[in-house]
Amino acid sequence: MVTSKMTINKYQGKTKEEAIEKAKRELGEGAVVMNVKEIKPTGMFKAWKNSVFEVTAAKEEKENFVDPRQVADLTAKTVQTLNLAADENISPKEFLSDRTPDILSGRHTNAPELHAKDGLEKRLENLSNILEKQLSAEENRQKEVKEEEKEHSVVNPEGLQFIKMLYRTLLENEVNEKFVNQILDEAEKVMHSGSSVDVILSNVYQKMILKLGQPDTICTSGKKPRIIFFVGPTGVGKTTTIAKIASKYKLEMGMKIAFLTADTYRIAATEQLRVYANILDAPMSIIYSSEEMNAAIERVGEYDLIFVDTAGFSHKNDEQCNDMKKMLAGLDEAYEREVYLVVSATTKYKDLLEIADRYKEIADYKLIFTKLDETEAYGNIYNIKMYSGAPLSYMTNGQNVPDDIEEFNTQKIVKQLLGGR
């Protein structure tokens, strides 16, 4: 008997090629494209949204050879199990006739062979349409309901023009189009035909504030000492950022601080941190392993905060990534820790995605954005927050220690993303 398992999923992209590439990445090169359709934008903002392409792709995960003696059982048993997005099972009866076993087994019927062959080919041609209907029936019903609701809610022309301006402003500030559409779609739900420009702006502003959240900074309560790790790629300003944060806790809050550095790849980094430690009259140790780290922490066990500077490395360097993971995992369980991923606001979006993914393999982290003074577009801050889900904590805007740093100012960033100053 033939048993085969087929996985069918949908993939979307800005182009047909992008959607197909996503399908192949997930399902493998053996993926078969069963249907391609263009999804045009809907809702009150459709005039300036772009269409997306949706590909329905399938992959047969397992296939056994047919034993002709068992073909007769095909009509009595399940031939195929289709793992659909909606977990639906499609019976072969929907696209195979009662005479299919005869055709598959090679037994001739009274009808001409050509006629039977044509019938099977016709059914195979219609197979993708049948599957597509099964996959999207409920989805289409839900869309129809939403469209009916939206038709009764149309923003006035002035409001539409203003929304269009916000859309373009967010894109110009390098907020990813996917997230721009999410923002406006959510704001649309609370708008009505009489919505003024002020109401629209207020709704969009509030949605973005809620998405970014309030800053999640170093916790000073709980067990002492608290171990604060700073990780990230090279050249983003980790060491300077550590000095800025440590200075505030030492000088403004009077806390006892200490430094550890595992950045043994760069002598300059070690010396730079030593200079800051001397200025702040704080102990500093160089560590090469988790054992040395725990021993160094034990020597300053009565301190409040211990700041650990780590070596910057390319997110593509597996060896250094594994070393970092071992270092953090080797921290004695008696200590509470926090991990901060330091990234530059000037880094390209695609690289930031890879960095966020790679460091997520090491540990859960909070985000620190540096070099805000070196860019006019803050969209990547919003993008990476939405992509990673990691809390935002601090942002820096210059080299001066300890001045050019502040807790993440959500209101300030959102205003700038919306075209303010």
Same domain, 292 and 354: yes
Q: Please state the φ and ψ torsions of residue 346, each to the nearest 5 degrees.
A: -90, -5
Pairing of strands 305-309, 405-407: unpaired
Q: 121 and 27 share a domain? A: yes
Evaluate whether residue 217 is within a structural domain: no
Q: Which of 128, 151, 174 is the last residue of a domain?
A: 151
221 domain-assigned = no
Domain presence at residue 400: yes
Q: What does the CA dihedral 250, 253, 254, 256 come to, rounded to 10 degrees?
A: -60
Q: Are residues 136 and 250 in the same domain?
A: no
Using alpha carbons, list the distances in angstroms from residue 289 to 157, 261, 350, 362. Answer: 64, 11, 32, 16
**pLDDT (0 to 100) of residue 145:** 57
The answer to whether residue 220 sits within a structural domain is no
Specify whether 103 is located in the same domain as 164.
no
Position 36 scores a pLDDT of: 77
What per-residue confidence (pLDDT) applies to 321?
Answer: 86
Quote the pLDDT of residue 136: 61
Model pLDDT, residue 89: 41
Distance CA 276, CA 274 (A): 5
Instruction: Say whether both 288 and 412 belong to one domain.
Output: yes
Task: List, for the chain, all residue ranges whose pLDDT scores fall below the cut of 70.
Answer: 1-6, 32-34, 43-48, 60-156, 190-194, 267, 421
374 assigned to some structural domain: yes
Token readout for 134 is 């099964």
Tokens of 159: 């409001």
For tokens 């007769």, the residue is 72
Q: Is the peptide bond prior to 233 cis by the omega test (within 30 degrees of 0)?
A: no
Tell me whether residue 409 is in a domain: yes
pTM over 0.85: no
Among 189, 212, 235, identify where a domain stops. 212
Asked if residue 338 is part of any domain, the answer here is yes
Domain count, the chain: 3
Q: Within this chain, do residues 25 and 134 fall inside the same structural domain, yes or no?
A: yes
Domain of 232 in residue numbering reads as 226-417
72-122: pLDDT as tens digits: 454 444 334 334 333 334 343 443 344 444 434 444 445 444 455 455 445
Does one domain contain both 253 and 398? yes
Q: Are residues 111 and 184 in the same domain?
A: no
Last residue of a domain, one of 190, 212, 234: 212
Within this chain, do residues 329 and 347 fall inside the same structural domain, yes or no?
yes
Question: Is residue 147 located within the same domain as residue 161?
Answer: no
pLDDT at 91: 40
CATH of the domain at 395: 3.40.50.300
Same domain, 273 and 403: yes
CA distance 180 to 157: 20
Q: In what order do the strands lie in the sheet with 226-231?
A: 284-286, 257-261, 305-309, 226-231, 336-344, 366-370, 392-396, 405-407
- Supply the pLDDT for residue 319: 83
First CA to last CA across the chain, in angstroms?
A: 70
Under 8 Å CB-to-CB from 394, ≥6 apart: which residues? 215, 217, 241, 245, 340, 368, 369, 405, 406, 407, 408
Residue 13's identity, in one-letter code, is G
Tell whether 124 and 233 lie within a shared domain: no
Contacts of 208 (CB under 8 A, 6+ apart): 183, 382, 414, 417, 418
- Radius of gyration over alpha carbons of the chain, in Å? 29
Q: Is 271 inside a domain boundary?
A: yes
